[in-house]
Structure 1
Amino acid sequence: MEKRESGKSQEARKKVICDLVHDPIYVPMKEKELAMFLQVAKEDREELRAVLRELLAEGKLMLTGGGKYVKSNGRLLTGTFVSNAKGFGFVEIEGREEDLYIPEEHTGGAFHKDTVEVALLPENEGKRQEAKVVRIIARGMTQVVGTYDRAGDHYGFVVPDNARLPQDIFVPKERSKGAVSGHKVVVEITDYGTDRKSPEGKVVEILGHVGDPGVDIMSIVRNYELPMEFSVKIMNQVERVPQEVSAADRAGRRDLRELDMVTIDGEDARDLDDAVSVSFDGERYHLGVHIADVTNYVQENSALDREALNRGTSVYLVDRVIPMLPHALSNGICSLNAGVDRLALSCLMTVEPTGEILDYEICESVIRVNKRMSYTVVKRLLEEDSLTEKEEEYRQYAALLPMFRQMEKLAEILREKRRKRGSVDFDFPECKIILDQEGHPVEIKPYERNVATDIIEDFMLAANETVAQHFYWMELPFVYRIHDVPDGERIRKLAAFINNFGYYMKAVGRTGQKTSNEEVHPKEIQKLLAKIAGTPEEPMISRLALRSMRQAKYSVECTGHFGLACPYYCHFTSPIRRYPDLQIHRIIKEQLRGRLGEERIAHYRELLPEVAKHASETERRADEAERETDKLKKAEYMEERLGEICEGVVSGITAWGIYVELPNTVEGLVHVSRLPGDYFYYNESKCEMIGEATGRSYRLGMPVKVSVRAADRFSRTVDFDVAE
């Protein structure tokens, strides 16, 4: 037999091998058994191995942990490995609804966040689809943040902060950088280890001791690889940016400086990137949303632009803001400060009293804000009872008060229009954590939603929809904000669950006709939320409805926004803190200036898919980091309140216990083994924890009194006991 066969002969052998392995009489088979059936001489064994490697790469065969070849259930898939502390993992695959489960024996040495190729394992009815990692394409983590623990004279270990990492990192003494036990460190992975050997690394940075002020937050910053400092090159570029609007800058722009307009933000806001103006001519409202023209100072593909793209978004942590753009820019020439000229992109809308946008214009403008307002002040001005107590404040803003009244009415009109079409509004409280000078939490309070915050939200939504619709019908490359229809299985579970309370939802197809498939119109969710408003089951059903939703993301395809019940939506209003807004501002300006020729359109068609994907990823990273810092400070806050009795509501139920949320938004676990008075079990279909003997149950949204049993800032957990 010749060493090298023709391609045709090679394919024939591959077919024979697959047929043998797939035959139930011979499955599974080891290499030597295959060799015997193929009557391959010893000198051809390497050739057989080459064929087997090819079949493995094509996903037609799989190699079990025992070294046997078995039939692969389908082609190879590529995704991101997500590890679990218990050794198993999952692989997230873009476009696939459910993650693949990777048993511990089939992780193939994959590390958390690795890009891997997997082959599907035979299906087990009723269980999540399993798969096996067959190849690691790229490592996702090169550094780990953790606590150094000196274990001997010549070595130590880094215990990862990330609970998903199942193994500590071995660090030889000569690579410890002088770290001592209790130091928070960044360790670079030099060897990812095996099933029998721990990963190995070297300390590249010592953040400080675990008890030092700020080290806890910095550990989270480094764990999520959030870029902190801007390079010297970027800062030099920022220093060259003019701090005043010149006559050349104003040329060719719509002059809106005589128009009354204000910014309305939180008291501590510094980067003011949106201003609003409203007037009423007796028949229609004229709404202007004016957004800082950041692209005038951030040129495409400059060092500053590449850094903004890399960051994707500003990150708002409990004790600091990590900005997308340097403060010298975002708080300076790009901030719509009162009384000075600023460049903007304006969306000027004519709105009927019904809320319909009759006409609009998108233009480059030069503006001058009259007053820098805060949510608190606008709220007070619109509450007549408080005006007599705030006479000085009233006089200061008296000239603008008629406009604020018109803003209030117009916002109500726009909100009602959205409500009628089915926009879903989940009103769950967010919190503000107040820290002292050393970073310790002293107060946690829910954010207040009021008439002023609603005004800005309603106006920004109107501008975002208008801009998205305009560019959709122009059929130009664009970045949209999309929110897909909820997962059908989750909606079916929600519908089955609410039937227990006498509620129902009907599924509808995209044509609007009632169908038997899984789609649901947002108005059905909205109707459900209206029906349960004020009922004991409202918190429970609202949370389950929210969990049935998909996550919003950026896309070059305009597939609509389910939650807002609108077909066209984008993010246009925050170019200082979100890169997609900055990106579409460039497209808008090129279109307005007539520069979107075939070459530029082709450029954006190639560029934007990756921009949308990266922006979605950095947004999720920022959200996770923000949640982690909140959880950290909430746990630290509760450490000082052990034994206190608190009123709360059941916010989550799992097989291992019930979660209880306090009015200040702190959430903790009551472990199932500590639920008093009975043996409790989890009824998944009813989402209840039920006592076996007494029938006593815990349900989502149920009020419950708890005592603080334990809190741990390092694991970021709070534990409660039910207080009898």
Structure 2
Amino acid sequence: MEKNLLEKRKQVLENLMKDKQYVPMKIKELAIILQIPRENRGELLEVLDELVKDGKIEQSKRGKYRIAEEHVLTGKFVGNARGFGFVETEDSEEDIFISEANQGNALHGDIVQVSLLRGKTGKRREGVIVKVLSHEVTEVIGTYQESRNFGFVVPDNKKFTKDIFIPAEHSKGAVNGHKVVVEITDYGSESRKPEGRIREIIGHLNDPGTDVLSVVYSHGLPMEFPEKVLNQAERVSCEVSEADCAGRLDIRNWQMVTIDGEDAKDLDDAVSLTMEGDIYHLGVHIADVSNYVQENSALDREAQKRGTSVYLVDRVIPMLPHRLSNGICSLNQGRDRLALSCLMDVDRQGNVVGHRIAETVICVDRRMSYTSVKKILEGDAKEQEEYRELVPMFRMMEELAGLLRAKRKKRGSIDFDFPESKIILDEQGHPTEIKPYDRNAATKIIEDFMLLANETVAQDFFWQEIPFVYRTHDNPDPEKIQQLAMFINNFGYFIKNTRDEIHPKELQKLLTKIEDTPEEALISRLTLRSMRRAQYTVECTGHFGLAAKYYCHFTSPIRRYPDLQIHRIIKDTLRGRMDEKRAAHYSEILPEAAAHSSQTERRADEAEREVEKMKKAEYMEQFAGKVFEGVICSITNWGFYVELPNTIEGMVHVTSLYDDRYYYREETYDMAGADTGKVYKLGQKVKVRVLGADKESGTVDFEIAEEGEE
């Protein structure tokens, strides 16, 4: 029967393909041509359905079959918690929508073949998955639920819409509520769930820290260092020897400080500042990590694999073992340390009129916190007395930072001053307070000095034409800028741009105009979303957001691999080792190193955001029924999002707007009532009641509170 079916399929296909003058035919006509008896036409229909699904032929609205005009496309399937999904293809920026009924046995992350469905009038392409080429995801993190003779795991990642069946013999003793790592052993089918075995039990969902650990596992973030790496770190000396200092510029007698958050442990940058006439002598001194992490060593390979340190609310997953990151590589107060220093001469206009990059040995005078420096600059007498010998330098730093900021603003640098979230946890890992992170004068001083050092180093090595890793930020997509321009017209603003590109100064002018207005946070966010993501590249194409021709990451080698790689290049150059062979070596390895660093940075960002959303939702669980005032920060077809002053966002679903039938107006970016004419706009202040919060999905649900309700 199956052989006969396949043969007929071949006959149909050959018949359809052989004649270029072929006209669409119905099944009855095809059956006559192929001499298929009436009683066997059901089999022919099955064959035709298979060919349609494979994308070889297509069926018109009138039921006629013809050769498909487009080939089957290949891409990555991305699931959605609401059942549908998308296929991302390389041929287009537009994803292909896949309804739940057309997914076959595809799971989130699979590489699939998709056939486009025709006759659809929607804006988005729609398709059906015809074949799974490969299953890219082999492990899933989730919550175990036990039954009498088996169990199953509900994936944490809601893009995995199918639970995973666990035979009792593969449960590893897990009980209800255990967070587990599941190895998928069978990917199932349209009618059968995937099957797996538990590889590791992370902990119970009620245990402190298990929630964050689940996110760590789901993003594949390496927690433990291999024994070989730890052994290598143990062999590193705890002190700087005189032999280490040989050949270095000795500036241990310079007055310098580190300025960081109170809880920072890996201090990788120190600053010094003096003045001579009208010239500021600014020193940015960065820990010489490359002295202890040699290229191709076990430490180096592990650092490159990790790419970056990851900062979660209750822990740091470091790029380097703590013995290095908190020890010999950390610029601790009163301890001799090896550094790579960028020594810059800056005039009163904020121009670098001279610079030198040198291997140095330093000794930090004081470990300062942002809070202390802020108090000193604000005139706190007690703080000024405690650090009286440093106060003149801090005053000078504030002055120079202001000059540098003014110069960047003049050239068009865009400064997004969004309030970051500071989440306070108790000993059990529960959030007790969430508030905006204070970005003050002290934090800005360090930002300004680090930016200048990064630009100076990048420009130096660009003109030396030495292989290098740059931090680049491409111009925004013109279409997104056009959409932004249309939107801000609703508020009476405009931006001047050509069809192909926009100067960052235009966006900077916009952000200046909206300062201290109700719509500031909203337009700032939409402006940020219209821009591309910064990345690491070997080509120096400039940094749009900073309006900088040359930019790199030089200042954080303890926590970012590109900085460590750059330090090696600088030292090879300073020591005269950058010959043709060494340059060729860097030209070969840097493209992959840059691409991998960009990937690990994205992975870290996603994990940090996921943990933050989870803790915010957990915090809001206690406020069910309470009323808050917030600002509408985003509007979609299914509702709008409201941001509270403490940075927490929640959604008001369109179905919870009971006083009218509301719909989203794309041209004006608002939500309008069909009968009452009531409109909800971006930037509008509203009072909302907390309906509930879901820690697992990291979501908060609001509804509009009634007038006068507290």
TM-score by length of 2: 0.89
After TM superposition, the structure 1 = structure 2 runs for residues 449-464 of structure 1, keeping only pairs within 5 Å, are: 449-464=439-454
Corresponding residue for residue 557 of structure 2: 575
Give the superposition deviation at 1:213: 1.7
- For the 8 Å contact 1:21–1:27, the answer to whether it is kept is no
Structure 1 position 676, deviation (Å): 4.4
Greater Cα shift, 232-241 or 82-91: 82-91
Q: Where does residue 614 of structure 1 map in the other structure?
A: 596
Per-residue displacement from partner, 1:96-119 (whole Å, max 9, x unpaired)? 644444455665644323355667
Question: Quick check: 2:76–2:87 contact (8 Å CA) kept in 1?
Answer: yes
Structure 1 residue 260 and structure 2 residue 255: aligned?
A: yes
Alignment CA distance shift 1:195-1:299 (3 Å): same
Please give the residue correspondences for 1:308-707 in structure 2 after superposition, counting only pairs within 5 Å.
Answer: 308-384=303-379, 386-387=380-381, 390=382, 393-508=383-498, 517-707=499-689
Q: C-alpha deviations, 1:342-393, integer Å up to 9, x for none?
A: 1111111111111111111112111111111100000111112x22xx1xx3
**Distance of 2:58 and 2:82 partners within structure 1:** 21
Q: Could you tell which deviates more after superposition, 116-125 or 316-325? A: 116-125
Q: Mark the CA change 1:684 to 1:237 in structure 2 (over 3 Å): closer, same or farther.
A: same
Residues 599/710 of structure 1: CA separation in 2 closer, same or farther (3 Å cut): same
Report Cα offsets for 1:705-724 as digits up to 9, x if no partner.
11212112122221112112
Distance across 2 between alignment mates of 1:460 and 1:625:
26
Q: Distance in 2 between matches of 1:72 and 1:86?
A: 31
Q: Number of paired residues? A: 676
Contact 1:21–1:71 (Cα < 8 Å) also in 2 = no
Contact 2:17/2:67 (8 A) holds in 1 = no
Contact 1:277–1:288, Cα closer than 8 Å, also in 2: yes
1:54-69 correspondence runs (5 A): 62=56
1:31-81 CA deviation, whole Å, 9 max, x = no partner? x99x979xxxxxxxxxxxxxx99xx9xx9x757899x9954636965x543
Tell me which moved more, 530-539 or 681-690. Answer: 530-539
Q: Which runs of 5+ in 2 are unaligned?
A: 1-12, 36-49
Q: Deviations over 1:502-532 (max 9, x none)?
A: 2211224xxxxxxxx2321111111111112
Instruction: Quote the residue 2:137 is aligned against.
Output: 141
Cα pair distance change 1:471/1:70, threshold 3 Å: farther
- Provide the rounded CA distance (Å) in 1 between the counterparts of 2:332 and 2:397: 20
Mapping 1:62-81, distance limit 5 Å? 62=56, 70-71=67-68, 73=70, 80-81=76-77
Aligned partners of 1:83, 1:24: CA distance in 2, in Å? 39
Shift of 1:336: 0.4
1:311, 1:618 within 8 Å by CA — same for their partners in 2? Answer: yes
- Quick one: distance in 1 between partners of 2:694 and 2:294? 46
1:269-306 deviation line (CA, Å, top 9, x unaligned): 00000011111112111111111010111111111111
Alignment of 1:17-416 (within 5 A): 20=18, 25=23, 62=56, 70-71=67-68, 73=70, 80-92=76-88, 97-104=93-100, 107=103, 109-115=105-111, 127-130=123-126, 138-151=134-147, 153-384=148-379, 386-387=380-381, 390=382, 393-416=383-406
CA contact (8 A) 2:347 2:353 kept: yes
Which residue type is aligned with residue 451 of structure 2? Answer: L
Deviations 1:608-666 (A, max 9, x none): 22212211111111111111111111111111122222111112111111111111111
Q: SS of the residue aligned with 2:597?
A: helix
Q: Which amino acid aligns with 1:82?
A: V
Letter in 2 for 1:398: R
Give the letter aligned to residue 396 of structure 1. Answer: E
Q: Quick check: 1:491–1:518 contact (8 Å CA) kept in 2?
A: no
Kindly state the Cα deviation for residue 177 of structure 1 after the two structures are TM-superposed.
Answer: 1.0
Structure 1 window deviating more from structure 2 (455-464 vs 84-93): it is 84-93
CA distance in 2, matches of 1:21, 1:615: 53
- 2:630–2:685 contact (8 Å) kept in structure 1: yes
What TM-score do you get using the length of structure 1 for normalisation? 0.87
Q: Is the 8 A contact 1:21 1:28 kept in 2?
A: no
CA contact (8 A) 1:683 1:689 kept: yes
Asked if 1 retains the 8 angstrom alpha-carbon contact of 2:373 and 2:394, the reply is: yes
1:88 Cα shift? 3.8
Letter in 2 for 1:302: S
The Cα of 1:196 is off from its aligned counterpart by 2.2
Cα RMSD between the aligned structures? 3.0
| Residue identity opposite 2:590 in structure 1 | L
Which whole-Å CA distance do the structure 1 matches of 2:67 and 2:416 have between them?
Answer: 49
8 Å contact 2:307–2:597 — kept in the other structure?
A: yes
Instruction: Show CA shifts across 1:122-143 (max 9, x none).
Output: 7967623456667656543211
The range that moved more, 583-592 or 84-93, is: 84-93
Bigger shift: residues 162-171 or 201-210: 201-210
Cα separation, 2, equivalents of 1:468 and 1:131: 46
